[in-house]
Each structure stands twice: as structure tokens, then as C-alpha cells.
Amino acid sequence: MKFFTYILISEVDESYYIGQTQDVEKRLKRHNAGRNRSTSAKRPWKLLYAKTCSSRSEAIKIESYLKSLKKRKAVLDWIDKQIRGVAQPG
């Protein structure tokens, strides 16, 4: 079974949200339907990046790592390195 760590970006203010799920599309629809209290005010959201993980624990580990990054640039740098295939934590 696949799991994902995902990063959404708000089309309102370009803030981002980091989470993990088994179904990225379904989860994005829930965010955009206002079914998540922490993201409902900044709708609509679009998917910025999703990383496939082999287990929920791996997805949670990456989610925690990304949430620990204090600067937006650090998260965007992580995404860039993932896309280019450069090894990164998580």
C-alpha cells in the first residue's frame, strides 16, 4: 500500500500546508471543500508536491521533517532536490 507526504499551496496567499495520506486527490478535495478546519480559510488549495512513501511511518517521518523546517525556502529547496533526485533527509 502506498502513502504520500504532500504539500499544498494556497491560491489566496501562497502559504503552504504539509500532510500525509493514502489518497492525495481525495485529501485535496477535502481541503478544498472546507472539511479541514486549519485550511478552510485559505481555500482554494492546489497540490505543490507529493512524495510517494512505502509506509505510513515513512510518510509521517517526512511530514515531521518538513514541518520542522522554519523557512519557506528550506521547504522549496527540499522539493527542488527531490525533483532533481538529490538525496535528502526523509
| Confidence grade of residue 88 (pLDDT, cut at 50, 70, 90) | low
Map 34-90 to HEC letters: CCCCCCHHHCCEEEEEEEEECCHHHHHHHHHHHHHCCCHHHHHHHHHHHHHCCCCCC
Q: With 60 as the cut, is the pLDDT of residue 82 above it?
A: yes
pLDDT tens digits along 53-72: 999 999 999 999 999 998 98
pLDDT tens digits along 68-80: 998 989 999 999 9
pLDDT number for residue 89: 56
Domains of the chain and CATH, by start: 3-84 (3.40.1440)
